[in-house]
Structure 1
């Protein structure tokens, strides 16, 4: 916590050590001012940290996959670890040591696609896929996949709106903006910081 300030962020490609967190690019960040940082405070129950990497995995290890230009708000929580060995089909939810190998169920990879934004104190349940350019409202609990360029909020999070009309979302996705080089994106910043999709298309034509 020492010397942290909200104007400075944690760039994930510089800080992440867990081999089951896969980072694309060098621009995704976490607003770490108010806690112990991304791996210590945000990512929960993911196999591969300093302690759990010594354990024999119970089964398939779900990964956390983070695209480029992803913005993760302060005190967000990303739950991993499948069902955490709490099996709702059993009479008792308790994770008895004797049955851990049979109670664990993976949920699939959690994916934060390029350019999405997780608002402060949101919670993502295991196995959720957040689409390119999507926005998760502050304090939301995301229980299912979020489409590209959607804005969702609430508990459980529901679709509020799309950032752009459907036709424009299709056009933006077709440009594959985040697959382009850093040099090209830097040149495109004035257009990316506008709503003029036609000008951006013309520039990339």
Structure 2
């Protein structure tokens, strides 16, 4: 067993919707780990779902390895935020003298980088708001609107998204965060894939002990 080539943009032959995201990115402010995929509806690129991402703002979208991102998921970046200390209307965009009132970066409510951990599943039509951090192993329900940080191995849903439950007991969550199977060599992942997909902690501990 070798698994798919992580450098293929479209790892499933004949399928132009499922894409390993890191092979389709053209913008430097989007950083994606190996094997994380986006399932498009009509072949659109993942980048089309990253909105208001302006390079001059310096914020990044960072996604870890082995993430599953369903169709129509959207990431709203900080460029979508308007100044809020007075009128929220962006006068400067329309020129004709109004550009004199262009806000500085310090005057904009920038939220920083948006960060998604490893082995995260994001359901269809979810919306991730600027500056949110989603922990490893989290599950984001379909059509959720994520407005605040999500702890590792937590299931959330709704608008605004709220915690539904933890996936495991706290001690198991802590152990999984220490094992970090996604950082292992792919050969080791292939060998222990049965344990990874079933959550077999005994075998995952053995995987960790084998030296990664």
TM-score range, shorter chain: 0.7 to 0.9
Select which of 86, 105, 108 maps to 1:104: 108
Select which of 16, 31, 34 maps to 2:39: 31
Select which of 51, 74, 80 maps to 1:44: 51
Q: Is the 8 A contact 1:119 1:138 kept in 2?
A: yes
Q: Is the 8 A contact 1:6 1:33 kept in 2?
A: no
Q: Please report the RMSD computed on the Cα atoms of aligned residues, expressed in angstroms.
A: 1.8
Deviation at 1:10, TM superposition (A): 1.4
TM-score normalised by structure 2 residue count: 0.82
Q: Is the 8 A contact 1:6 1:31 kept in 2?
A: no
Unaligned runs of at least 5 residues, structure 2: 1-13, 93-98
Matched, 1:88 2:84: yes
1:127-163 CA-partner distances (Å, limit 9, x unpaired): 0011001000000000000000000001100010011
TM-score normalised by structure 1 residue count: 0.85
Unaligned runs of at least 5 residues, structure 1: 49-56
Residues paired across the two proteins, number: 187
Matches within 5 A, 1:70-149: 70-82=67-79, 84-90=80-86, 92-97=87-92, 98=99, 99-102=101-104, 103-149=107-153
Inter-partner Cα distance in structure 2 for 1:135 and 1:162: 10
